[in-house]
Structure 1
Amino acid sequence: MSDLRETRLEKAAALAALGQGPYALRFEPSHRTAELQQAHADLANGEERDVAVAVAGRVMTRRVMGKLAFFTLADESGPIQLFIEKATLAASLPDDPEAFAHLTSLVDAGDLIGVHGTLRRTDRGELSVRVTGWQMLSKSLQPLPDKWHGLADVEKRYRQRYLDLIVSPHTRDTFRRRALAVSSMRRWLDERGFLEIETPVLQSVPGGADARPFETHHNALDLPLTLRIATELHLKRLVVGGFERVYELGRIFRNEGISTRHNPEFTSVEIYQAYADYTDMMALTEQLIAHVCLQVCGTTSISYQGTEIDLAPPWRRATMHELVQAATGLDFNSFDSREAAAAAMAAQGLEVPALADSVGRLLVEAFEQRVEAELIQPTFVVDYPVENSPLARAHRSKPGMVERFELFIVGRETANAFSELIDPVDQRQRLETQQERRAAGDDEAQGVDEDFIQALEVGMPPTGGLGIGIDRLVMLLTDSPSIRDVIAFPLLRPELRPEARSESRQEAGPGAMG
């Protein structure tokens, strides 16, 4: 690799001596390659079209055969072939009799170049730019991966995403689809009177979710702060202030583990609608996600990892009690104590965590262990125990439950919604209970946000709230198995230098594993 870099540095110096950069200031393409492919699809094999074009992109492949060369040039829209003839360059560039030699010897795969020329379709049917002039735009000092159709090393794909994007059209398509999903979601909400308002990332009191926050410090104010774990409490303040439909689509930070479904930094949208409840949020969720799916995929019937998923509304609705009873035979409504529920769960081979200190928390445990992974088609799981939902309103007809739903698709939570709790006295009591759990060692329990309670005491209208995980939704719409496939730059451990890896192995000793 070092020798290759030195060779390319020598070529860069040679280009500079020729007045060819090697790092240009600008170039003005007349077309993108996909535009040319579409506009001149009618050009017959072996024919030429005397139309002047200028294209710019990265050289992906190169073949030099005596006085003729073929390069593949790719811009953001796709590839096109360059047809390079020594005689054509000599006629069009009389001041540079060695133009063909310079182009074919000093340009490597990976270089960014701009070319001028006309069009022809080769006898084999390949639309090509017949090059009449060229310019080095940026000399690449590092070679592209050997297999330019994709990187075999998954870790390298995430760590060097720029290489992945260069060599993998599928990866570029994934991020185009992600951008389209986000923009179509914003447009849909904006068209229905929702207003996007940004809320603070740095917060004194983390709230709005059960999650461990990242901690930081403001030096000038000498103030400990956390990165937000949700946008909920500030968006609710906006509803108190008179905004009836608000949302924010942005980054959330939670100090948790990393898996195919979790990244410590992720994107969500939270939506709040005054004078609505969780049934209204169900209808909104169906319509919004179906709309986004249509925009991104062109249909609401999609395939995810070999399974057909139908996102056309309406979606299935089932209570957590019903789903758990169907899967385990346990009726959690019949248990009069935590001990009775725990014994019944143990008899069914279910784990009974010590922190699950009530019948309601054990119900959620049973759901997560036996039901969640089986919810493949879109399903609204409704009516949750109050213990697990400190920000949701008490159910209007089911004691001990709240008006909440979570949306599950392909076995994972994709959205979460409540009829929002607007009673400040009840809210304080629930957050104080959470704070007690936090003091007892539950790092994910919430604390009491006094300013938020004060805002509720001013008066908040009945409100429905909804949160959707953008990354998980994009995973579904792009058939991506891991959340890291849809985050451009996922968090990874720092890569050890070769010498550091060697030292680590020596220190570990011969018996060390993993």
Structure 2
Amino acid sequence: MTEQAPAGDVAEGDGTDLLAVRRAKLDALRAAGIEPFPHDFDGVEPIEAVRERHAGLEDGAETEVSHRIAGRLRARRGQGKMAFLDLDDRSGRIQLQAKLDVLGPERMSRLLDDVDLGDLLGIDGVAFVSRRGELTLRIEDFTVLAKSLRPPPDKHHGLQDTELRQRRRELDLIGNEETRQAFVTRSRIVSEIRRYLDGEGFLEVETPVLQPLYGGALARPFVTHHNALDRDFYLRIATELYLKRLIVGGLERVYELGKNFRNEGISHKHNPEFTMLEWYEAYADVEDAANRLEACVQHVARAIGYEGETRWTEPWKRQTLAGAIEEATGIDVLAHRSSEELAAVIRDAADVDLDPAGRTWPQLVDDLLSKYVEPHLQQPTMLFDYPVELSPFAKAKRNPDGSETGLVERFEAFAHGMEIANAFSELNDPDEQRRRFEEQARLELAGDDEAQPYDESFIEALEQGMPPTGGLGLGIDRLVICMTGRRTIREVVLFPAMRD
């Protein structure tokens, strides 16, 4: 009987004796003329498909149906004339039965003595149901597909060390079924988002990741240098400005689902490399974007069979930003539109613990939102009507009597206590866009390294004429956190950025 994996976590440098034992078994296979790393193994069925084929069979039922499966050996029980093994693939796990009178002494010995837990095996077997009701394949033949030279994580405890799980995601996936399922769900979420948007007439497009000028968000970029062109490029911080140029070009409904990069801090909801969905729809506004976001996420929740506590498929709560802040703190931020006034009210508020010293008015509003509103928005919620000071790139909110409101047509969507999406009625007036770029340039000169640079090419595109447009950005990583019950972005990104 081969060794069991060591208890607890797998640690680099441990188990030298086990490595030597496994290498000796590798040599034994080769000495017997067996290639332990073959080129292929054709005709494999997913384990899930095998289970579906025989669903409903009674306990003890025999079949004459043969199957070919492949996967990783996860457990083994028994010795001598009969043993049972568990094999995993991406779709699930199945029990195998090895019998001496079927395999013969030599093959039986090789399966029990030269094959280790963690090895990848190809199995040809006949399906039956054990007396205990377990669907099982009786092994008629097996093939070693890859010899595992390192022991897997303990089969009972999985891989528990959080940092090791994130640095060595392959071990996490081998050892923890919950991790595998989370990333399978992530893939399904992305596929269903695409399915929804494609069905609504959107075109999926690709815009540059290396950009000569970054834009579309207020963030610090990563900078790199292209030797042949002898110029600096930036990893994109957003796809917005290029996608809007496609709207100008007449594509009318476009989306991009891909990576953005921001040279900023790391937290439970921030990673310097993250996945965003942005879509832009001509002849639409912020209300259309809100309705479409709700419909898209509801489609995803139904398609993946979401069964958690979040009420995705019910109508989402909608309220104004100012109303939400006043409900949480008693402070009407729109009644105090200077930093001095708002700071004084914050100091006098009995239930507000913020130091307003040195903070601008938009910073104070954002502080109130971040501390007293956002953490409590556990169910899907949209906050509308942001002050223009917090949203310099959205169209002004329409007022029936034509008066100024000081607000813009923007909403942010929240769930599980964090922002998941942001949407605008997009600014399409080139002169107003130029004025706002100039304001950003002044902020940059004043030392704001997250200000957006002036983009003359984008202004020229707007001067060609961009139709009324609704645009939205949805954080895929954060949506996956919410839909899989994870706690941090590191748990839903396969290989998160980490310190040395």
Q: TM-score, normalised by structure 1?
A: 0.89
Aligned pairs (5 A) from 1:274-289: 274-289=282-297
Partner Cα distance (1:136, 1:238) in 2: 52
Partner Cα distance (2:186, 2:200) in 1: 22
| 2:63 pairs with 1:61 | no
Between the aligned residues of both structures, percent identity stands at 49
Give the match for residue 483 of structure 1: 489
Deviates more, 1:42-51 or 1:134-143: 42-51
| 2:458 pairs with 1:452 | yes
| 2:381 pairs with 1:379 | yes
Partner Cα distance (2:356, 2:259) in 1: 31
| 2:102 pairs with 1:99 | no
Aligned pairs (5 A) from 1:219-368: 219-297=227-305, 302-303=307-308, 308-335=309-336, 337-348=338-349, 349-352=352-355, 356-357=359-360, 359-368=361-370
Partner Cα distance (1:350, 1:439) in 2: 33
Closer, same or farther: CA 355–203 of 1 in aligned 2, 3 Å: farther
Closer, same or farther: CA 392–366 of 1 in aligned 2, 3 Å: same
Does the CA contact (< 8 Å) of 2:74 and 2:155 recur in 1? Answer: no
Give the match for residue 470 of structure 1: 476
Partner Cα distance (1:356, 1:439) in 2: 19
Give the match for residue 215 of structure 1: 223
Q: Deviations over 1:326-382 (max 9, x none)?
A: 22222222225321212222333443566742x344222222221111122222111
Partner Cα distance (1:222, 1:346) in 2: 53
Does the CA contact (< 8 Å) of 1:324 and 1:367 recur in 2? Answer: yes
Partner Cα distance (1:345, 1:138) in 2: 64
Gaps of 5+ in 2: 1-14
Partner Cα distance (2:210, 2:359) in 1: 31
Partner Cα distance (1:122, 1:435) in 2: 73
Closer, same or farther: CA 55–335 of 1 in aligned 2, 3 Å: closer
Partner Cα distance (1:89, 1:336) in 2: 82
Partner Cα distance (1:42, 1:319) in 2: 53
Partner Cα distance (2:364, 2:495) in 1: 37
Closer, same or farther: CA 355–243 of 1 in aligned 2, 3 Å: farther
Give the match for residue 392 of structure 2: 390
Does the CA contact (< 8 Å) of 1:352 and 1:362 recur in 2? Answer: no
Shift of 1:12: 0.7
Partner Cα distance (2:314, 2:55) in 1: 40
Does the CA contact (< 8 Å) of 2:154 and 2:175 recur in 1? Answer: no
Partner Cα distance (1:333, 1:259) in 2: 31
| 2:196 pairs with 1:205 | no
- The amino acid of 2:189's aligned partner reads A
Partner Cα distance (1:350, 1:206) in 2: 37
| 2:457 pairs with 1:443 | no
Q: Deviations over 1:412-453 (max 9, x none)?
A: 111100011111121122122222222323222211111111
Aligned pairs (5 A) from 1:8-87: 8-87=22-101
RMSD across aligned positions (CA): 1.8
Closer, same or farther: CA 55–221 of 1 in aligned 2, 3 Å: same
Secondary structure at the counterpart of residue 242 of structure 2: helix
Q: Deviations over 1:84-113 (max 9, x none)?
A: 1222212xxxxxx52211221100000011
| 2:415 pairs with 1:409 | yes
Does the CA contact (< 8 Å) of 2:346 and 2:356 recur in 1? Answer: no
Q: Deviations over 1:114-163 (max 9, x none)?
A: 12232333333322222222211110000011235532112222111112
Partner Cα distance (2:287, 2:48) in 1: 45
Does the CA contact (< 8 Å) of 1:376 and 1:408 recur in 2? Answer: yes
Runs of 4+ in 1 over 4 A off after TM superposition: 352-355
Q: TM-score, normalised by structure 2?
A: 0.91
| Aligned partner of 1:399 among 399, 405, 412 | 405
Shift of 1:313: 4.7
